Structure 1
Amino acid sequence: MSIAIVGGGPGGLTLACLLRLHGMDAVVYEREPSRAARGQGGMLDLHVDSGQRALREAGLEAEFLAVARREGQDQRLLDHTGALLLQEDTPDDAPLLRPEVDRADLRDVLLGSLPEDAVVWGRAFRHAVPRPEGGHTLHFADGSTAVCDLLVGADGASSRVRPLVTDVRPFHFGVNYVEIGIPDIDRTHPDLAAVLGRGNYWVMGPGQSLSAQRNGDGRVRVYLGFYTPEDWFATCGVPFDDPARARAALAELFAGWAPDVTALIRACDDSVITRPLTMLPVGLTWPTTPGVTLIGDAAHLMPPAGEGVNMAMLDALELALALVADPGDPAAAVARYEKEMFERTAPVAARCVRVTEVMMAPDGAQRILRFFQGHGLGD
């Protein structure tokens, strides 16, 4: 049985590692021209019972622990006035329950366990055509094709594989992010580095938020959250195509917040990325479709609350185990995987929605504090 995986993110690569480990024929088709084509984004926190579990099953626990950042578990929570509500500093001997890892480092760990022919670079998937004898013919933007018995869409929020199983599309859920960043913060802005600490930093206020995340290369990624409609980027008046003016305008939107907040914004470089956030309906299902299935955001895109990559990697593990357990009947294996995946991810997605709703509330900082203290997300 030949398995084609569209998308070389953490979910797709984890699936390839697990299938190859069990001697199955799996190839990843990735649209990027090479593994070094672009930066891989910020940090990921991998949970011990999901993302880390998949890596353990793939025999990659030691490689992961070598690049995991224990201190990335640190967190600071403030309200918009600058009042420090929570500070958690991770002891040196603390368990690695949710350590941070650079996306690039995680990708290197996964690629390092795969032979070169397991990933085909520069293949932007366009569509697939069912074959009379079963399986699909895959068509790519460069005119090339490939044939497979099982097609797995691991191609994220804007999945081109998803339409083979459902007509449902992601929708905007009232949150827009602007990503900016400070390079080499310990050298360039040591005062702000001390404010942020070693891990994650959140400031929440009415209708807006700021979060900052240290990366292993010394860069701090800053995310400005605005609880606004889908067209906000076009109507807010911020000149996003002019980084210097955009920084000034974004800082002005946080006028009246703690001085550290506007200082962080003004210290950022010229990288300004707009990110309208979308999600799929909670509890989305579809009838099992011969020869195709989905994992990760392609299957259950949810608000960003630390679960997306972990669910994708757990999807990869559960699908691989199902296929390995029943190689003679992949259709039955996929059906079992999808049933379990639907049941497992629906409550996780609902929780992510609830976290987002709480963060958007006028008293979001206090309510998130209670959540961190173990009191749940209730009103």
Structure 2
Amino acid sequence: MLIENKKIAVVGGGPAGLTLARLLQLHDANVKVYERDNDRNVRVQGSTLDLHEGTGLEALKRAGLLGQFYSNHRPVASKMLLVDRSLNIKFEDHDFAEFTSETRPEIDRAPLRDILLDSLQPETVVWDSHFVEMSRQGDGWMLYFRNGKSAYADLVIAADGANSKIRPYISDIKPIYSGITLIEGNIYQAEKNAPGLFGFARGGKVMAFGNEQFIGYGTKGDGSIMFVACFKRPQNWLVQSGIDFGNKSQVLEFFKKEFKEWSNDWHEFFTNKDVHFTPRPQYYYPFDQSWETQENLTMIGDAAHRMPPFAGEGANVAMQDSFELAEVLTSGKFSDIMTAISHFERGMVERGASATKETLENTERMFSLTGLEQMVSFFTDVKRDS
């Protein structure tokens, strides 16, 4: 096996990194996952994930974790409402959700992470390991972390997300701004802190369109809500706006101005005492990426092919990266690691480009003047053809 007697470092403990570690350990690989969180008890934020056949679900199948997944997935999360700016329902799929919960079952990020963590050998994850830099040492790399510690690896795999600090060691290709910026908000104890919008969703998700803008949110099994308010702005808007996103009053005033034609019911997200905001300009990588393959370094997931979240493909493509990379490293079909990684990277770039194109097409629909009508038509067709 190509990775026999090799020390493998996976930097990043998200779904892709943990899935890869699990798949490699099934082949007795010596792998460590370096994760910046202090421990596994840190709150896992982000939207609920719908996993797809052939990608996310296939990864869990190969990892032997489908049973645990279905014991923890949330069928109610597939329920969806499409609404206008005033929360008038234009499409409801609470019956159709019975179908989508089977074909694209959903799970919160926290239980998915627990499933993957529990599948790993003890001490696989090295917590409090915020990557800072690395340098070549012999045929491998020495990794340095913010806590002052370091570690050697023969093979490093970047799974450290859209703002990867390892990607520059592989490629100098810069991401392209999509034209869309979003404000992400996370509300804990949402039934108490945002009762109106929490109850309106009935355990599922809500997507609202108007004025080339989009608000989406979903309830999670821990009683929290994650929402996004998305709008078109120039790339440098975030810096020039001067908004302190730690100041709730400033964020509310911005929302009232930017979304002035939206119902005041949406203000509930911005006026409760337990909300945390994060601005996120949305970028993607070019379709024709290429770089020189290295025998001791590669990347997966958002580090390799970041894209906006408007088609639900990011996590699924990332988890496919995990099983495709594990396959080339353990199958015995390649003569050396560089050949195996080169084969993997060519396929990864193609998959990433395809998913990015689909995402950008969906983004154009969602943020058009007829976004609501187009999305209602799209989901009506899907429901009819299912």
> Is the structural similarity TM-score above 0.5?
yes
Distance in 2 of aligned mates of 1:106 and 1:295: 18
Does structure 1 residue 98 correspond to structure 2 residue 99? no
- Change in Cα spacing, 1:138 to 1:46, as seen in structure 2 (3 Å) is same
Q: Which moved more, 1:291-300 or 1:267-276?
A: 267-276
Tell me, which stretches of 5 or more residues in structure 1 are unaligned?
none
Q: 1:92-241, aligned counterparts within 5 Å?
A: 94=99, 95-132=101-138, 134-187=139-192, 190-236=195-241, 240-241=245-246
AA matched with 1:19:
L
For residues 248-286 of structure 1, the C-alpha deviation after alignment (integer angstroms, 9 at most, x for no partner) is 542343233245434454457342222222222233222
Segments of 4+ moved more than 6 angstroms = none
After TM superposition, give the deviation of residue 12 of structure 1 in Å.
0.4
Q: Which moved more, 1:222-231 or 1:140-149?
A: 140-149
After TM superposition, give the deviation of residue 342 of structure 1 in Å.
1.7
AA matched with 2:21:
A
After TM superposition, give the deviation of residue 96 of structure 1 in Å.
2.2
Give the SS at the match of 1:211: strand
Q: Which moved more, 1:338-347 or 1:267-276?
A: 267-276
- The residue that corresponds to 1:320 in the other structure is 326
Q: 1:276-291, aligned counterparts within 5 Å?
A: 276-291=281-296
- The residue that corresponds to 1:298 in the other structure is 303
- The residue that corresponds to 2:367 in the other structure is 360
Distance in 1 of aligned mates of 2:365 and 2:98: 32
Paired residues, what number?
374
Tell me, which stretches of 5 or more residues in structure 2 are unaligned?
1-5
Distance in 2 of aligned mates of 1:248 and 1:166: 40
- Give % identity: 35
For residues 89-145 of structure 1, the C-alpha deviation after alignment (integer angstroms, 9 at most, x for no partner) is 15686452222211111111000011222111122222222334x222222233332
Please tell me whether the aligned partners of residues 284 and 300 of structure 1 are also in contact (alpha carbons under 8 angstroms).
no
Which one of 334, 337, 341 corresponds to residue 330 of structure 1?
Answer: 337
For residues 276-314 of structure 1, the C-alpha deviation after alignment (integer angstroms, 9 at most, x for no partner) is 222222332222122111100000001112111111111
- The residue that corresponds to 1:23 in the other structure is 28
AA matched with 1:358:
R
Please tell me whether the aligned partners of residues 255 and 262 of structure 1 are also in contact (alpha carbons under 8 angstroms).
no
Q: Which moved more, 1:80-89 or 1:298-307?
A: 80-89
Q: Which moved more, 1:274-283 or 1:256-265?
A: 256-265
Distance in 2 of aligned mates of 1:281 and 1:67: 36
After TM superposition, give the deviation of residue 339 of structure 1 in Å.
1.6
AA matched with 1:120:
V
- The residue that corresponds to 1:339 in the other structure is 346
Distance in 1 of aligned mates of 2:178 and 2:196: 36
After TM superposition, give the deviation of residue 190 of structure 1 in Å.
4.6
- The residue that corresponds to 1:308 in the other structure is 314
AA matched with 1:281:
P
Distance in 2 of aligned mates of 1:339 and 1:4: 22
